[in-house]
Chains A and B, each alone.
Chain A
Amino acid sequence: MDALDLARWQFGVTTVYHFLFVPLTIGLGVFVAGLQTAWHRTGKAHYLRLTKFFGKLFLINFAMGVVTGLVQEFQFGMNWSAYSTFVGDVFGAPLALEALLAFFLESTFLGLWIFGWDRLPKRIHLACLWAAVIGSNLSAYFILAANAWMKHPVGYEVVDGKARMTDLWAVLTNSTALAQVPHVVAAAFIVAGGFVIAVSGYRILRERRMIADGDATVPMARPARGRGPADPMMWRTSLRAALVMTAIAGAVVAGTGDMSGQLLREQQPMKLAAAEGLPHDRKGAPASIVPGVEVPYVLSLLAAHDPNAEVQGVEDIQRRYAERYGEADYRPNVPVVFWSFRVMIGFGLATVGLSVLGLWLTRRRRGTPDWFARACLLALPLPTLAIVAGWLLSEIGRQPWTVQGELLTAASVSPGVSVTEVAISLALFTALYGALAVAEGWLLARHVKAGPEPVVPAPRVPDDAEPVRLAPTLMY
């Protein structure tokens, strides 16, 4: 292994890991903000209980997204200094805008939300959460616009061996970004929706059992064991809301996925060919479900909305790239790309299917069958695996380019950084991330198992009441 391989592994490990927490943060933040809005509008206590409960899970997860994001910003310069020097003029701009326009908003207003329960007027407090979640969604936009530029560079020219931006608007409205942003953000809503579905399903089963065993009292009675009263109907509310969110997001993901497929045909034909395992150019190309099982014309239909359209194949693109860019291997890892594509679509569809089924089963005040509550647990791993596979497809599929047609990954690595240095940091981050993953999983599981605390809507402390007890607010 040389420094390039290790730097690639480090990028893969840290990015996929970061991407486990960020989608949940993006979607769950909006979900919690929706719950608090429902509480604000109706005054019903169970919305407040749900807000606090999912808010706590959101914050546990939020911490991981923030700290692993720091590594992302630094490692472009640390491991990929040749890349950063080449593209900084273009690629750095959305990153700087992300920090300035999104991160400040997110972190400042989240701090106000966490500690402001008894400090701020109710409306302002709610507005703080909305400001924070708008910040996270905005940051997704900037980072995905930067990422889209690597796949389909626009609005720049190369001067003296460096990319110079000529049109920021073109970079921010890149066709690839406009397809990718709603696709990834909606997928994040599926991940968060799946998380809430799984947690709600688990709580429904658990609280039914607690009531049946006489371990819990029914709603509005005294809480058992210092925890809140069992309330399966409350979980039906969060379950239904998450099912709706996931189903709608599923439609957006499918629509924008179709857009992305067509853009791939023009902008990154190699990725499309690898995803379909298509070796040679072909008119009326079939879609391959798994190796050996093909549906005629479907690939051409999907990629060009024309069953007879020509789709390029891996080996023919390789030949053309070698003529255009010089002799080298321009093929990504085809099996990884091929299978990532199938995992993404398969597990994503399964999650959306589960949510549509759930909406049908729980329609018109119907209760949640036990078997479906159990099936809800699948909504935790399925969309997460799907979104990670989608990320792998997207990023491994663009290899060996860091900037499509402009800069190869091999030419992007830091020239002055040694194998030992990258090995040390890779080992350190992998160990640290592993330990934190265990801690986060344990922490989330414990809070889900314990369930929500009883919540008494506290009156706001008037501004002139001094001193105000600040430390253990309801959230902390």
Chain B
Amino acid sequence: MDVTTFWFLVVAFLWTGYFVLEGFDFGVGALLPLVTRDEAERRQALATIGPVWDGNEVWLITAVGAMFAAFPAWYSGFLSGFYLPLVMVLAGLIVRGVALEWRGKVEGRERALCDAGIVTGSVLTAFLWGGIFGHMLSGTLAGTLVGGALSLSLAMLHGGVFLALKTAGPLRARARRAALTAAAVAVPAAALALPGVPASIRPDGAAGADWTAHPLVWAAAVAAMVALAAGVALIWRRREGWAFTATAGSITLLTATVFAVLWQAPLPGLTVAGAASGPYTLGLLTWIGLIALPFVLAYQAWTYWVFRKRVTA
């Protein structure tokens, strides 16, 4: 494998990590007003993501930083091309981050304001990421909206499952029901969006939905659907741990499908090789990344281990 391919996989891996991890903390934020009844429950719900959401967001910073270093033309074309949606993403992440950090340090009306910031920021950002990638692949308004609906509902499903997994008492039951409700949107949205993802590979400029040409991409799309269905079935049967594994798998496979399509042309008129940095830079970054990444994964995993217990009200 050449170093350019390797770095494309690294970028895809980082985005996948971001969507899987921040996916559930977006979901918890978006579900906050729907599943909690009082302050104690809100605190309980937010305590499930409190220690980890900031670390989850660093996956985005690293994904974008890796694009900058490894594929400068892709980075700058992507960010300047999706200018206004990304301004909104940043505004959403700013409001959400500050609200999450400040919530515990204020009371009364200010705390309600922080809750509003957490919910708005989570919903807005989760929707926009799907919309941006939907637009990137389809170029149409319909594709944008379906992408947005899919990513928001999938985040709420994933977040609901996570909440059910991490809490006890009435919150746990409500989180499960909320996850199932979110699935009622996520499943049809996925069914609508997923066939369109591999179909958007058009290397010759012609519309091509030929699955024989790219069997692996189609297989990933189908597997994403299967994992999603499994996640819904498992949370229905109250198998929370397995359900979370399945929704995480579904997001992983969905992101993999998207990046498999982008491998052909990350942006119109741009090839991965044409966007890449020089072999010297990529080679060095590879070594540093290979040495550092195991540590990062280990101490992030340790955080989840330290806070592994269910949170009670």
B263 within 8 A of A: no
The A contact surface, by secondary structure, is helix
- Which residues on the A side are within 8 Å of B58 (C-beta)? 99, 103-104, 107-108
B13 within 8 A of A: no
The answer to whether B307 touches A120, judged by C-beta atoms less than 8 angstroms apart, is no
The chain A residue with its CB closest to the CB of B114 is A439
- Which residues on the A side are within 8 Å of B81 (C-beta)? 416
The chain A residue with its CB closest to the CB of B101 is A63
Interface-central residue, B53, B65, B285, by most chain A CB under 10 Å = B65
- Inter-chain CA distance A56–B65, complex, in Å, is 30
CB-contact partner of B54 in A64, A110, A164, under 8 A: A110
Q: How far is the CB of A172 from chain B (nearest CB, A)?
A: 11
- Inter-chain CA distance A88–B292, complex, in Å, is 21
CB-contact partner of B90 in A70, A84, A107, A109, under 8 A: A70
Q: How far is the CB of B279 from chain A (nearest CB, A)?
A: 9
B303 within 8 A of A: yes
Interface-central residue, B76, B93, B307, B311, by most chain A CB under 10 Å = B76
Tell me whether A96 and B285 are in contact in the complex, defined as CB-CB below 8 angstroms, given that A67-B97, A164-B278, A471-B311 are known contacts: yes
The answer to whether A417 touches B168, judged by C-beta atoms less than 8 angstroms apart, is no
Contact with B along A55-84 (1 / 0, CB 8 A): 010011011101111110110111111101
- Inter-chain CA distance A120–B306, complex, in Å, is 8
B162 within 8 A of A: no
- Inter-chain CA distance A468–B299, complex, in Å, is 22
The answer to whether B84 touches A471, judged by C-beta atoms less than 8 angstroms apart, is no
The answer to whether B306 touches A112, judged by C-beta atoms less than 8 angstroms apart, is yes
A438 within 8 A of B: no
- Inter-chain CA distance A466–B310, complex, in Å, is 9
Q: Give residues 94-108 of B contacting A (CB, 8 Å).
A: 94-95, 97-98, 100-102, 104-106
Tell me whether A108 and B303 are in contact in the complex, defined as CB-CB below 8 angstroms, given that A70-B90, A467-B310 are known contacts: yes
The answer to whether A97 touches B68, judged by C-beta atoms less than 8 angstroms apart, is no
The B contact surface, by secondary structure, is helix
The answer to whether B105 touches A68, judged by C-beta atoms less than 8 angstroms apart, is no
| Number of chain B interface residues as a range | 35 or more
What's the tally of chain A residues with a CB closer than 8 Å to chain B? 80
- Inter-chain CA distance A76–B77, complex, in Å, is 11
- Which residues on the B side are within 8 Å of A429 (C-beta)? 87, 90-91
- Which residues on the B side are within 8 Å of A77 (C-beta)? 64, 68, 75-76, 78-80
Tell me which of B42-50, B152-160, B175-183 binds A: B42-50
The answer to whether B98 touches A63, judged by C-beta atoms less than 8 angstroms apart, is yes
- Which residues on the B side are within 8 Å of A111 (C-beta)? 50-55, 303
A119 within 8 A of B: yes
The answer to whether A471 touches B62, judged by C-beta atoms less than 8 angstroms apart, is no
- Inter-chain CA distance A71–B68, complex, in Å, is 14
A92 within 8 A of B: yes
- Which residues on the B side are within 8 Å of A408 (C-beta)? none
- Which residues on the A side are within 8 Å of B43 (C-beta)? 471-472
CB-contact partner of B80 in A59, A67, A115, A417, under 8 A: A417
A224 within 8 A of B: no
The answer to whether B75 touches A92, judged by C-beta atoms less than 8 angstroms apart, is yes
The answer to whether A100 touches B292, judged by C-beta atoms less than 8 angstroms apart, is yes
Q: Give residues 431-476 of A contacting B (CB, 8 Å).
A: 432, 436, 439, 443, 447, 466-472, 475-476
CB-contact partner of A428 in B87, B281, B285, under 8 A: B87
CB-contact partner of A95 in B55, B65, B71, B93, under 8 A: B65
Q: Other than the known A63-B98, A82-B76, A100-B62, what 20 A-B pairs have Cβ atoms closer than 8 Å? A: A64-B98, A66-B101, A71-B94, A78-B80, A88-B72, A89-B69, A89-B278, A93-B284, A101-B292, A103-B58, A104-B299, A108-B300, A110-B54, A111-B52, A165-B278, A416-B80, A424-B87, A429-B87, A429-B91, A471-B43
What are 16 A-B interface contacts by the 8 Å CB criterion? A66-B57, A70-B61, A82-B76, A84-B68, A95-B69, A96-B68, A97-B288, A107-B57, A108-B58, A165-B278, A166-B280, A425-B84, A428-B91, A429-B87, A432-B95, A471-B50
Q: Nearest 4 A-B pairs (CB), nearest first?
A: A88-B72, A77-B79, A92-B69, A63-B101
